[in-house]
Amino acid sequence: MSSFLKVDNVTMQFGGVTAIDSLSFEVQKGQIYGLIGPNGAGKTTIFNIITGNLHPTKGRILLNGEDITGTKPNKVVYKGIARTFQNIRLFKSMSVLDNILIGFDARAKYSYFEAILRLPRYFKYERELKEKAYELMEIFGISQFADYFATELSYGNQRKVEIARALATNPKLLLLDEPAAGMNPNETADLSEIIHKIKRDFDLTILLIEHDMKFVNAMCDSVTVLDYGEKIFEGKPADAIVNEKVVTAYLGDFTHA
């Protein structure tokens, strides 16, 4: 059985700087896979390569055996990959409902003229997708905020909106860039519960970047540790925290975490 997502020998150079050096790892279907490492290790760069924002200098990205290297970012979504951002990037002037509807909009099959003339298909899809958006918000427990502006919500809830928005595109692979960053322990616990739930309900494979080792330990089936663009460890998260190389990379930061 081949892997679901395969990062195959990827190298990314910015000018003379090698951000990622011949990195390979494989994510199996249904896994929650962690990508960890100190600041500047190249974690977000890998995300940007998978989502097509960056074109790797060398190497390939395979999704379900299909080569998706260099697919445009807006097309990658239709291959079934959705992402969230490290610093939450919601659409600030729009309501929570509209933010989530944007994710569904690819499935609204009405044309520009049908929208202008308000033909029946417009009403059909708008009603249908609005219902789906409410269902999704219900799962995240944010449906009472539907009419609020995204920026009026608490940090934790904004993160939920962002994940819900990504889920609305109907992905098979979800990329979460530091989902628990800046959250208090309660919010983090809440978040891990939701991630487990959506993974089950939506039959997802999840790749996440995280600093919080407790969170990684609780969440991930498997991790890859990066340092200066190189893989220094791959395996179970519990083994990662006792690995000498990993500890050195983090300067012992999490031995007492």
Partner 1 sequence: MNKIVRNLILIAAVIAFIIFAQNTIEPYDLRIINNIAIFLILALSYNLINGVTGQFSLEPNGFIAIGAYFTAIMLIPTETKVDMYALVDPAPVILQMHSSFLVAIITGGIAASFIALLLSIPVFRVRGDYLAIVTLGFGFIIRIFAINNPEYTNGALGLNDIPQTANLYWTGGIALVAFIVMIHIIYSKFGRAMKSVRDDEDAATAMGINTFKMKTYAFMTSAFFEGVGGGLLASYLSTITPDQFSFLLTFQLLIIIVLGGLGSMSGTLVATILVMGGMEMLRFLDEEINIFGLHFDAHPGMRMVVFSILLIVMMLFARKGLLGDRELSDIFKRKKSR
Note the residues at the interface with partner 1 (CB under 8 A).
Answer: 51, 53, 73-75, 77-78, 82-83, 85, 89-94, 98, 101-103, 105-106, 108, 110, 112, 115-118, 122, 125-126, 147, 165-166, 169
Q: What are phi and psi of 61, to 5 degrees?
A: -115, 125
Q: What are phi and psi of 59, to 5 degrees?
A: 95, 175
20 and 11 in contact (C-beta within 8 Å)?
A: yes
**Shortest separation between residue 199's beta carbon and partner 1, angstroms:** 20
- Residue with smaller CB distance to partner 1, 148 or 228: 148
Shortest CA distance to 136 belongs to which of 168, 162, 113, 108? 168
The pair of three-digit structure tokens given for residue 158, joined into one six-digit string = 């904004």
**Partners of 62 in beta bridges:** 6, 67
- Residue with smaller CB distance to partner 1, 118 or 197: 118
- Residue with smaller CB distance to partner 1, 106 or 238: 106
- Residue with smaller CB distance to partner 1, 155 or 235: 155
**Shortest separation between residue 76's beta carbon and partner 1, angstroms:** 8
Shortest CA distance to 161 belongs to which of 178, 141, 182, 189? 141
Shortest CA distance to 6 belongs to which of 20, 24, 22? 24
**Shortest separation between residue 116's beta carbon and partner 1, angstroms:** 5
- Residue with smaller CB distance to partner 1, 31 or 84: 84
DSSP for 179-204, written as a single string: TTTT--HHHHHHHHHHHHHHHHHHT-
**Shortest separation between residue 87's beta carbon and partner 1, angstroms:** 11
**Shortest separation between residue 170's beta carbon and partner 1, angstroms:** 10
CA-angle at 247, arms to 243 and 253, nearest 5°: 145
- Residue with smaller CB distance to partner 1, 89 or 245: 89
**Shortest separation between residue 73's beta carbon and partner 1, angstroms:** 5
